[in-house]
Structure 1
């Protein structure tokens, strides 16, 4: 079977930049974590090797140089997301920690009767912290439905925003179904009701150009490892006035101004929220990943991945036992299930053919319940993915259907 798309733009050919893709391996699990280009690996190696020193503490030259690079990386992130001020960028371990930071710091102002609104397709990281906060504060958690094709039902969500709603928290791009939310529309509706908007941008940051002012949100989080950068580093962006009003949620070094046994005063943001020695090499690696991605162009990356999704959906429609979940124009993600075949079996058989996908609930168990399945198989594309990868996925699924006797 030939996988072609005459309307597709010229495809990217970048596998050679990624040591983790050496050999004939179809890696289709980028939504879980992206492979790392050599440029990022080199930046981390230099940071750990000849350039290594701590930041914000030493008066010696190498420490001062590393501190400068660390803060230059913060400014690099700010430019990448269209932030007005680098001090609006807080480095965290990942999007999960960023959401928990907001829940534990900003969330201290919640009181009984207040409400938080999320959607039914959220990742557990955008569900559980709000459940915990609501339990502590006596607040209520509301859940907006999804549409038949697997997007946030934005009209229903907006109708659910009440005078008691203090925060709306949604995924920019679904990690299971790939649908993209109209963040600006939701932000305007939230603000009209006096609520704030937090956006989980984990799946958006690697493929969509971001501009915090244009999006109109109040908090935005994403993880470096999905953006071709290191694990253990992520970003919380928040409006400066919000950060100024939020208390720290962890205590220790670096986040202080003065300490006595009687009282402590805290550093201004972002330092107030970055207790302890930071993930220096993670920050440097993230900046290198952003350099790499922007040199290619987010629009090119998104077009490339969208073309691969179209090719895959078109080719897989011929397998009658296969259900394709999510919208036709999903952003780099294709979830599916096969009648009578558990997703883990699909993943195992594909792995035997050198095709790596994700099989499971994708940290979205409530969404699985709505879809009426225990789990799905998910193929997710990156800037290094190719039509050959799609071809191997299709051939592998045809083999699965033969093994299990389904058509």
Structure 2
């Protein structure tokens, strides 16, 4: 029976996906061993990738990573051209264009082209059919309210990433989508299970992780199809894309902002003295430790980029953090941020207000917050560099402010 399944049917597909997983991961490791800087980024251990990103910059405005089959850039001008060029109308990598084995997992919903993203974006706009909040300030306030609820249940020591940041996004987004109370718990439980979705297309996850993420995404779409007030095909797709593309980047941004402040002498003390500076801290984290570090696009047609002719199907990856450090950019140039031409067009406007509300509440209620051990970066997370754990301590818990 096993041999029959592997010859034709689900078992064969699983075997092909596992093969693709091994081959892609091996190519990334080999590229790193051959000193390909993009290969080093994709190997995605726990080390800081800045040196590898700068090595890409040193190789010119557009570097060809031969072993991974990808063009890579740390150049701001090139990055802006990619996000605005009509040829780059799809997320990458475009596995299908090369006729290879399917990847072990690639999100079924985060595959919008620009036209689809533009059509669905009004559904997730503030005050639109799906979101309860009228504007960013309203969402920020609700994030603060839910943050206080979470903090009240935590002790003097907790994991900022797991116990706070990832647990915050579920109830806030469920409320914003107007889901019935009975669906909130399941929605909030499924979101963290989808955390690998943004990393998986560029860095194959373990087979068990990939299958679990695929199941969680399917379950999330089914839940929203049942729980939304008006579950049309477009509203379910828009809500699913919004939730999956907002939740983990928001959690990573909160964790990164806190880490940067705790690493800076007196940084957290200054924020605690003036919590209104939370917006500045979030903006600083978006520039120096962005929650999405790799953005990849696949060219639908031939074009010339940075003086290089690219064929249809060519993949280009933007090193977002390195682009923000571009020494040739104007000092006041805004960070690249979450590129809102594809799936982040449905969620980018939510991430910053959520992070600001969370950070302000942490500063107001935990003025003595400090690191309680070294943070650990999740393996196989080159896109997000997501924290696996970030232990903190707060000392005696002060009375919560109203």
Q: Choose between structure 1 and 2: higher helix proportion.
A: 2
- Tell me which structure has the larger Cα radius of gyration: 1
User: Which structure shows the higher strand fraction?
Assistant: 1
